[in-house]
Amino acid sequence: MTARRIAVMSDSHGDKETVRQFLDKQSGSDYLVHCGDSELSAEDMLLREMIAVKGNCDQEGLPENRMLECGSFQVLVTHGHLDRVKTGLLPLRYRAEEAGADIVLFGHTHLYGAEVHDGILFVNPGSTHRPPPGRPATYVVIEEKAEGVSVSFLQTDGTEADSADFPEFQKRR
C-alpha cells in the first residue's frame, strides 16, 4: 500500500496570503483540497492548484461536491451548508452513504474536528481566516497509514494544534 496524504483547508474568506502559504507548506501532499468559502473566483490561479468546492459565501463556478479517490479511500468533499452541518452530521452522513464515501471533508462551522460515525470518517479542517474566539486558525493533514488514518490539525504557521489517530479505520467496501 502506498500511503496517501491529503491537506485540507476551508473558510479562508478571501485571505489569499493564507491560501498561498498553505499551498507552499503542503505542496508535497497527494491532494490539496479547499472545502469552500474561499471567496475567490473559480478562475483564480490559487484555486486551480486545488480540488475546491463552493461554499455559501462563494460565487458560481465551483461544484457543490466532489469525489476523489485517495489511496484505498473514496473521499467526499463538500462545504456542508447544504447539509446543515451546524445542526448535526445526519444529513451529511446520508449524502456520504449515497456517494459511497469512506471519508467526508467539510467546512462551514469554522470548528476543526474529526470523528467516525457508522464507519465514515468526518473531518472538518476548521477555518484559516475566521476561527471562533479562543480557537486557532487551522487546516488539516490526513495521512493514510498501514493501519488506519492519522489526522493532524495545523495552525496556519504550520505548528500542530491537535491530532487524532484512527488505527482501526479502514475502507468500508
Between the two ends of the chain, the Cα-to-Cα distance in Å is 17
pLDDT at position 173, please? 60
What is the tally of structural domains in the chain?
1
- Is the pTM for the entire model greater than 0.85? yes
pLDDT at position 2, please? 58
pLDDT at position 3, please? 59
pLDDT at position 130, please? 86
Alpha-carbon distance values, 33 to 10, 78, 118, 133 (Å): 8, 10, 24, 25
Is 172 inside a domain boundary? Answer: no
CATH number at residue 83: 3.60.21.10
Is 49 inside a domain boundary? Answer: yes
Is 159 inside a domain boundary? Answer: yes
pLDDT at position 146, please? 82
pLDDT at position 1, please? 44
Contact 99, 116 (CB under 8 A): no
Work out whether strand 160-166 and strand 51-52 pair parallel, antiparallel, or are unpaired.
unpaired
Q: Which residues of the chain have pLDDT under 70?
A: 1-3, 172-173
pLDDT per residue over 99-129, tens digit each?
Answer: 999 999 999 999 999 999 999 999 999 999 9
Is 22 inside a domain boundary? Answer: yes
Alpha-carbon distance values, 172 to 95, 97, 119, 155 (Å): 15, 10, 7, 30
Is 115 inside a domain boundary? Answer: yes
pLDDT at position 45, please? 96
Enclosing domain of residue 13 = 5-166
Contact 99, 75 (CB under 8 A): no
DSSP state, residue 66: E
If we measure between CA atoms, which residue out of 119, 117, 115, 135 comes closest to residue 127? Answer: 135
Is 173 inside a domain boundary? Answer: no
